[in-house]
């Protein structure tokens, strides 16, 4: 149970943060900057994609005792899909929030952000693993 929480609690907490942010009404005095909304979606969901990929990553599972090494393409794709599904739920939720609306392009930005965050995690994890492997002494005879 503790292993499950250490892998999934950060992603769940971040999802809750996104939900709370999207529950806020948009102030009328906020200036309208073209595509700023899409950029914010992309950046927020990149963080979610990173944390989802971390939770799904087999090497994270190995560190907690039940997996192998290296973020896989499957964990990246699943992170993007979960980000998009959460984005759809969030957009539907925004229909009930005053001054908010649902936008399919926001879901697209969520998907792209989730995939970007997952790919960044995968790149970071591989680089970290290579540095650790190269730092270990070789015991060849």
Measured distance CA(120)–CA(57) in Å, rounded: 13
In the prediction, which pLDDT does 91 show?
Answer: 96
Structure tokens at 39: 């950029």
- Among 2-16, 50-64, 76-90, the range scoring the smallest mean pLDDT is 50-64
| DSSP symbol at 57 | -
In the prediction, which pLDDT does 66 show?
Answer: 44
Whether the CB-CB separation of 81 and 39 falls below 8 Å is answered with no
In the prediction, which pLDDT does 11 show?
Answer: 97
pLDDT of residue 2 exceeding 60, the answer is yes
């Amino acid at each position: 149970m503790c292993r499950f929480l250490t892998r999934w609690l950060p992603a769940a907490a971040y999802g809750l943060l996104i939900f709370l942010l999207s529950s806020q009404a948009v102030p009328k005095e906020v200036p309208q900057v073209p595509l700023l909304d899409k950029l914010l979606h992309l950046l927020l969901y990149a963080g979610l994609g990173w944390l989802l990929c971390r939770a799904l990553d087999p090497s994270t599972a190995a560190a907690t005792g039940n997996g192998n090494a290296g973020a896989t393409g499957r964990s990246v794709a699943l992170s993007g899909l979960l980000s998009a599904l959460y984005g759809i739920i969030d957009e539907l939720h925004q229909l009930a929030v005053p001054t908010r609306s649902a936008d399919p392009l926001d879901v697209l930005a969520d998907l792209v952000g989730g995939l970007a965050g997952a790919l960044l995690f995968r790149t970071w994890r591989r680089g970290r693993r290579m540095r650790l492997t190269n730092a270990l002494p070789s015991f060849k005879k």
